[in-house]
Amino acid sequence: MDNILTQQEAMLRSGQISEVDYTLKIKLEKGSQEYEGETTVRFVYSGGKKGKLKVDFVSKKIEILWLNGKEETNYEKKESAFFLPGELLAEGKNELKVKYKNVFDHSGSGFHKFTDPSDKAEYMHTDFEPFEAHRLFPSFDQPDLKATYELEITGPSEWTYIHNTVPKSEETQGNYKNIKFNKTKKFSTYLFSLIVGPYAVWEDKAGEIPLRIFCRKSLSKYMDAENLFAITKEAFGFLQEYFAVSYPYGKYDQIFVPEFNMGAMENVGAVTFSESYIFRGPRIYSEYLNRANTVYHEMVHMWFGNLVTMKWWNDLWLNESFADYLSYYSMSKGKIFPDALEHFYVREEWAYREDQLSTTHPIAGKAENTLEAISNFDGISYSKGASVLRQLMYYVGEEKFRDAMRLYFKRHAEKNTVLNDFLSCMSETSGIDIRGWSKEWLETTGVNTLSPVRQNGRLFLYQGPSATNGLLRTHALQASLFREKNGNLEEVWKKRVLVKGKETLLEENYSGEADLLLLNTEDFAYAKTYLSKESLPILKRSLHTLKDRFSRRVVWGSLWQMVRDAELSPKEFLELALDQGLKEPDLSVRNSHILTKALTVIDNYIPEAEKRNWSDKLNSIAKEKSLLAQNPEQEQILWFRILENTSKSIEQLSYLKELLDQKKSIPGIAMDQERRWVILSRLSAYGDPESSKRIEEEVAKDNTDLGAKKAFLAKVSFPDPETKRESWERFLKPKEGDSTDFLRYGMRGFQWNHQKQLLVSYTDSYFNLVISVYETRDPHFASAFGHMMFPSFEPDPSLLKRTQEFLDQNKKLPELLKKDLQQQRDDMQRTLKVLEKYKD
């Protein structure tokens, strides 16, 4: 696989090339797997006519190439680029024109094509981050060679064509339409977009900014355009004023595209979203909030990432950390989701997990090439970076933080930046030299642990070093003390604390006993926090009486960190969850911090012999609670999910089957298509003899692409050697038309913990084949295979040993595979440590 650009190549090229602009002509035909293109690249060259100039391009066939008006054949073509000899180039202005044919991609990236089985409509979309624009057109595909783009497209007249700008002319002749789009502003190649197909459209305005929402016709009945427009307008209202820079790109389109690999992508003026955000049935509050957050996140990128772009992918955090934090912060200032920062606290668990893995990296990381860049789209660049920015805002003050953003955009609009550019702006506006703070936070790895300590009449806070490097850091945070009074927990004090070194004094003359000291209330700091062992009896009695919801979240978040660090017995957590947790009045707290975590504990952190007992307890609670007719709809959704997730015995599965056949019902729960597939997959996984017939009947009723994918998942789930063998072979040698997304659904159904005996033989196959998968398949498929097909049926010391030996024996593994396997190993080590400590 040579489809990689190194940082060294990019630096060399940006030293030779400047003032780039592209003119593109694309021709599309109905029913074809190919398209025609003609691209003209104008640029200024100053490379001294030495060596070769690399032009990134993946193509089926270059038909003709002209350089400065003359046909040229003296170039070297590789899989993902062609090289022009330096002596052919003119010092100064050059014009390169390439006429070519190309094939559509089916990996979700590049120029992806999808046919909707329900109405045979064809849809295409681009997805180019970090290094895929050259799949559509020859380009200098790196973020610091910003360019303008002028697109002309010809294709079937019934299709809609969406680009970064609006059309300046449109002509229809017979069955074809020709559209010329306005020239774009300057931006990086990965932000170019072209979306095509017979889309349904909704229109509105945010002030003077035209807004449009698109989705494919077969899903239009589910589109909640009114809600999405309301969120979009609220976001524009806040961000333009906050950044003191008007939205730079004219119009704002949001397009929900099929088989998208990520949640969304911030293409200039034409944001693409995963169709998973089109809700086909009622959802719980946190899912609506998460969707809104994605809308906000992509809009923040119009400034952070699009207007001002990192120079190279090692500074990915200059895009993602800011979008991650400012999206939640902005939402918290609005009226639709004012509690957004509580949900930001939930998201930070991603950062804490990844920062404790051996694969962690500094927020201001490194990316020697574009493949390594892909691996940096992780919990560090997003969630840890965001959390550290929240800490910085608390440290310097909200207004100074905002003013630094304003200075940053004023100084660097339409340019590329590095870490020091941001630090300079923050230092200037805050009056504090932020470089020292950066060295402590942005340029190191690891997370500190803060614990309350009572000793000799003193109450203080102890800071534990980050595990691998022993670092202690400066933390600005809030601490709150609660005391039991008449069976209720009431706040005694709340104070801002600056933590430095190992110990920080909170109270000199401390006499409390039945107290709960809660560290990092309102979540200003990036640190794991523990609760004192003395406060556990208080929590078992009175946790539900704590009035402040955010504080209850922090309690449960601290308990969860203690379980993962083997500082709290998993059984003790489950007992608390199934008592105090059921008294938690807020459904999103109950879902994210209590019931979801209880399921994780049962699956991972208690001995095999006890799993069924705890699962049965939770199943019984869910069944009982779901039958209460007075429950609100969101609570019913929650209980149904727990019920389905814990159904394992013949009796429990029979109950699901009766729900499926509507012989029994749960108040407020309609047996819609999504729930039917969920139940069918579980029945199939547990070997229900009717499942194969039922899947065929269901897929006949659900003729959508999602129906086909969920049917594939359900079929693959069946515990039969032949079924597993056939699906394994299909993952490795897909049938014609199998997209990466389709195969991902199948992989989700392959491994079930209770099928260990059936699956154990695939351990050898996995380790024998996984290197070739990462070397020959697209990164999205390879990563899905690496994660989902890893033989993690249950924690097992022999699998841990096998994984470590594989890493030791293969020193030159593909970087993505190496990272994926190291993370699997680290997770196993953590799980086995918890199991070993609490095995009795």
How would you write 157-214 as a 3-class SS string?
CCCEEEECCCEEEEEEECCEEEEEECCCCCECHHHCCEEEECEEEEEEEECCEEEEEE
Boundary (domain end) residue, out of 442, 476, 497: 442
Q: In this structure, what token pair is assigned to residue 263?
A: 């949640």
What residue has token string 């394992």? 648
299 vs 305: CA distance, rounded Å: 10
Say whether both 568 and 473 belong to one domain: yes
Distances (CA, A) of 35 to 158, 270, 764: 17, 22, 42
**Catalytic site residue from 298, 320, 348, 354:** 298
Can you spell out the DSSP letters for 714-734?
HHHHS--HHHHHHHHHHHHSP
Q: Which one, of 344, 311, 308, lies nearest residue 325 by Cα? A: 344
What residue has token string 């022009």? 84
CATH code of 225's domain: 3.30.2010.30
Q: Considering the domain boundaries, does residue 695 fall inside one?
A: no
818 vs 359: CA distance, rounded Å: 9
Exposed, middle or buried: residue 226 (CB in 10 Å: 0-12, 13-18, 19+)? exposed
209 vs 162: CA distance, rounded Å: 16
Say whether both 754 and 813 belong to one domain: yes
The pLDDT score that the predictor gives to residue 512 is 72
705 vs 283: CA distance, rounded Å: 21
Distances (CA, A) of 729 to 404, 716, 725, 748: 54, 12, 6, 15
166 vs 181: CA distance, rounded Å: 6
Say whether both 368 and 269 belong to one domain: no
Question: Which strands sit side by side in the sheet containing 449-455, from one edge to the other?
Answer: 503-507, 458-464, 449-455, 528-529
Say whether both 271 and 311 belong to one domain: no
**Quick count: other Cβ atoms within 10 Å of Cβ 406?**
15
The pLDDT score that the predictor gives to residue 840 is 63
Say whether both 318 and 236 belong to one domain: no
Instruction: Indicate the DSSP class of residue 253.
Output: E
Say whether both 183 and 71 belong to one domain: yes
Q: Considering the domain boundaries, does residue 651 fall inside one?
A: no
Q: In this structure, what token pair is assigned to residue 650?
A: 């013949």
184 vs 450: CA distance, rounded Å: 50
Q: Considering the domain boundaries, does residue 34 fall inside one?
A: yes
Domain that holds residue 273: 198-281
Contact assessment for residue 186 and residue 148, using Cβ atoms and an 8 Å cutoff: yes
Q: Considering the domain boundaries, does residue 654 fall inside one?
A: no
Say whether both 764 and 803 belong to one domain: yes
395 vs 477: CA distance, rounded Å: 9
Q: If the chain, 840 residues long, is cut into consecutive pieces of 10 residues, what is the mean pLDDT of each piece?
A: 89 97 98 97 95 96 97 94 96 98 94 96 98 98 98 98 98 96 98 98 97 97 97 98 97 98 97 97 95 98 98 96 97 97 97 96 93 92 97 95 97 96 96 92 96 90 94 96 92 95 91 86 97 94 96 98 97 97 96 96 93 96 95 95 97 97 95 95 97 95 94 97 97 93 96 94 96 93 95 87 96 92 96 88
CATH code of 364's domain: 1.10.390.10
Can you spell out the DSSP letters for 21-50?
EEEEEEE--TT-SEEEEEEEEEEEE-STT-
Say whether both 427 and 480 belong to one domain: no
Q: In this structure, what token pair is assigned to residue 480?
A: 């709150």
Q: Where are the beta strands (DSSP E) in 420-487?
A: 449-455, 458-464, 475-485
**Quick count: other Cβ atoms within 10 Å of Cβ 451?**
20
Q: Is 298 a catalytic residue?
A: yes
The pLDDT score that the predictor gives to residue 508 is 87
> How many domains does the chain divide into?
5
500 vs 474: CA distance, rounded Å: 5
Q: Considering the domain boundaries, does residue 289 fall inside one?
A: no
Boundary (domain end) residue, out of 386, 409, 442: 442
584 vs 579: CA distance, rounded Å: 9
Contact assessment for residue 370 and residue 5, using Cβ atoms and an 8 Å cutoff: yes
Say whether both 760 and 779 belong to one domain: yes
What residue has token string 């035909």? 29
Q: Which one, of 444, 435, 431, 437, lies nearest residue 471 by Cα? A: 444
Say whether both 71 and 140 belong to one domain: yes
Q: Considering the domain boundaries, does residue 622 fall inside one?
A: no
CATH code of 66's domain: 2.60.40.1730
162 vs 741: CA distance, rounded Å: 23
Rg of the chain's alpha carbons, rounded to an integer? Answer: 28
Q: Please report which helix (H) or strand (E) contains residue 97, including its range.
A: strand 92-103
pTM: 0.96
Q: Is 68 left (phi over 0), alpha (psi -120 to 50) or beta?
A: left
Distances (CA, A) of 334 to 211, 252, 339, 340: 19, 20, 9, 9
Characterize the bridge pairing of strands 449-455 and 528-529. parallel
Q: Considering the domain boundaries, does residue 365 fall inside one?
A: yes
The pLDDT score that the predictor gives to residue 511 is 78
Distances (CA, A) of 831 to 145, 260, 606: 45, 32, 9
Say whether both 23 and 166 belong to one domain: yes
Q: Is 794 left (phi over 0), alpha (psi -120 to 50) or beta?
A: beta
| Collapsed DSSP state (helix, strand, coil) of residue 273 | strand
Q: Considering the domain boundaries, does residue 634 fall inside one?
A: no
What residue has token string 């809609």? 160
* Cis omega (within 30 of 0) for bond into 130: yes
Boundary (domain end) residue, out of 555, 570, 605: 605
Characterize the bridge pairing of strands 92-103 and 61-67. antiparallel
- Amino acid making up residue 289: L
The pLDDT score that the predictor gives to residue 455 is 86
Say whether both 474 and 409 belong to one domain: no
Q: Which one, of 464, 485, 490, 459, lies nearest residue 475 by Cα? A: 464
Distances (CA, A) of 429 to 7, 109, 346, 408, 422: 32, 40, 31, 10, 11
Task: Give me the helices (H) in 486-548, please.
Answer: 536-542
